[in-house]
Structure 1
Amino acid sequence: MNESDAQLAGEYGADRPGLPRGRARLPVDVVRREQRRRLLRAVISAVAGKGYAHTTVGDVVARARVSRKAFYEHFRDLEHAFLSACAGAERQVVKDLSGAAREGVTAEEMLRDGLRAYLRLVEREPEFTRCLLVELPPVALEGRVAAHRRVGDLLRIWRDFAHPSRPPLPDALYLAAVGAIAELLTAHLGEPATALEEPAWEILRRLLA
């Protein structure tokens, strides 16, 4: 699998070069950073492929091409690695949504831009999407709710900007809007997410008025 710095999941194939050793070896901090990056991507890839209940540390280190010893230098266990990967990926989602705003556009266009940015990310990250929507174990549910609340906060900021004179909406309604779009994506898992822009937009339009 070809990787880019923005990818949230991936397998470091045997055809890719390993970390340099001997005289050409990298500084320790660079090696550790690269190991962690590979492991975080690999654990999402492994869980998406096998399900959390059937994934082992061996599956993760094989995908990352990192030793088991190195794994335990970064994480206590599989749960710790998976929760760390999900938290990092969810931060990336919020960052992408926050950076979608453009100057000189209407409030509606601004919200559309954020929705499109999210759907594009979902489409290019099918393994992360599957983890988040289907394979997420109970230990990670609290983190997903927290991530949904952060996205809901962005929606509230947008609505306050777009309609400053309207009465505020309950926080639960913003959370419901995020959850409704997640359910829409779950129902169409494996299909192009960008094709769901109109129904997702209708969810936002109706719930946020």
Structure 2
Amino acid sequence: MDERLSSGRHHLSPDEVAADQQKRLFKALAVVMGEKGYSNTTVGDLIKHARVSRATFYQQFESKQDCFMAGYARMQSNVLGGLRATPVLGSPMARFRAMLTNYLNFLAADPPTARLYLVEVYAAGPEALRRRMQLQQDFVAGVAEVFAARSKADRFACQALVAAISMLVTGALADGDAQAILALEKPLVEFTERALPASLH
């Protein structure tokens, strides 16, 4: 859809047009920053790829940073939604595996976008890093809930597990390899079974 079509031709409401423009800008973030990096990407690069005007961009966002953070919030909501979809029944390991599978599938479905918010985020400034760390802490909380981790030592084990997952996923994303992301599931489950105290299984 071209934003320059008149409202009578594309039959969409102003809200629908704005949502489409925003979606295209978020896609442009992943593609352009995937090629040029966060620091070297300009608003001009984004609007060119998204096929929107500069005026439209600034109607939606205050800056490149604002656009990035809005896209991050959207991604964060989707990730947490997948984590919260973990089954409430079954053994802790079965529930953890379901959570891990949801997470890896989400990342593998769109590696450029996942890479943007897990790798390029480090170049996007302190606010973005705080959001990145909050997402990781939300993941830790989800894992701790699955394993009913209550002691300080058990919660630290869950934190270390999530840190390991994050490091391995980031490495796979740096290469843009969706299959490498999915291939992490089996070794991560096996590692979890060995690394966490037996009392949590």
* TM-score when normalising by structure 1: 0.79
Mapped to 2, the partners of 1:170 and 1:59 lie a distance apart of 46
Contact 2:27 2:113 in 1 (8 A): no
Long gaps (5+) in structure 2 = none
* Alignment correspondent of 2:129: 141
Shift of 1:100: 3.6
2:104 alignment partner AA: L
Provide, for residues 60-108 of structure 1, a one-character-per-residue CA deviation record: whole Å limited to 9, x for no partner: 11222111111111111001111111121022111112114265x3332
Which of residues 24, 28, 33 in structure 2 aligns to 1:47?
33
Greater Cα shift, 75-84 or 44-53: 44-53
User: 1:52 aligns to what SS in structure 2?
Assistant: coil
Shift of 1:195: 0.9
Contact 2:26 2:67 in 1 (8 A): yes
User: 2:119 aligns to what SS in structure 1?
Assistant: helix
Mapped to 2, the partners of 1:74 and 1:172 lie a distance apart of 41
* Alignment correspondent of 1:175: 159
* TM-score when normalising by structure 2: 0.82
* Alignment correspondent of 2:20: 34
Contact 1:43 1:60 in 2 (8 A): yes
Which of residues 148, 163, 187 in structure 1 aligns to 2:171?
187
Mapped to 2, the partners of 1:97 and 1:146 lie a distance apart of 14
* Alignment correspondent of 2:100: 115
Answer 1 or 2: which has greater helix percent.
2
Mapped to 2, the partners of 1:48 and 1:91 lie a distance apart of 21
Contact 1:115 1:197 in 2 (8 A): yes
* Identity level (%): 29
Aligned residues: 188
Mapped to 2, the partners of 1:135 and 1:41 lie a distance apart of 14
Aligned-residue CA RMSD (Å): 2.2
